[in-house]
Amino acid sequence: MKYKKLRGIVLKKQNFRETDQIVTLWTQETGKIRVLARSLKKPASKLVYNLQDLSYVSVETAGRKNLPVLIGCSTLKSFKDLRNDLNKIGAGFYASELMLKLTADEQPNPAAFNLFVEFLSNLNSQQLISSQIQAILAKFSLNLVEILGFKAKTTRELDFYKANELVESLVERNIKSAAFLIKL
């Protein structure tokens, strides 16, 4: 059994069997990883509050490489102000979806990790209106694309809609959370 202690951001959770969940994290040390959180859906689970989406956490894992088991977790930063504003949480989920779709598993990229943490911190700490959030999202999207090695076809500033089109053309799939942000 291999033990690891990692710090990362919770990108998503998916149900697995009756009470377990597979948690996808973006970590500075190993990039995007999936871990098995046993009994996370049980009411008595001690880990459920630490593994909220878009939380910055410290996790301890053990077990095989393809799906390690989560054995401990603590929250480093919860970004709780982000959860009080529908526009902000929508932007956070959009950024999370970009991290999921634009990056490969277990490919560390400290610059992308730092950009993501900085984006969530800025979103959490400021009072923003919808147009400001979309401008910050466009900037985040273009910076992430550049950090990941894709060269944008344009050097001028893009609005959210053009940045979203660029990202969708790169991943060749729709970004589902973009539809939510456009309606706000």
Of the chain, the end-to-end C-alpha distance in Å amounts to: 47
Identify the CATH homologous superfamily for domain 2-77.
Answer: Nucleic acid-binding proteins (2.40.50.140)
Closest by CA position to 124, among listed 83, 95, 160, 181: 83
Where in the chain are the domains? 2-77, 80-183
pLDDT confidence tier of residue 184, bands split at 50, 70 and 90: low
Question: Cα–Cα distance between 79 and 53 in angstroms, integer?
Answer: 10
For the chain, the average pLDDT equals 88
Question: At residue 129, what is the residue type?
Answer: I
- Output the pLDDT for position 181: 66
Looking at the predicted structure, is the pLDDT value of residue 155 above 60?
Answer: no
What's the full length of the chain, in residues? 184
Question: Could you report the per-residue pLDDT of 107-121, keeping only the tens digit for each?
Answer: 999 999 999 999 999
* 105 against 182, higher pLDDT: 105
Question: Could you report the per-residue pLDDT of 102-154, keeping only the tens digit for each?
Answer: 999 999 999 999 999 999 999 998 888 888 888 899 899 989 998 998 876 65
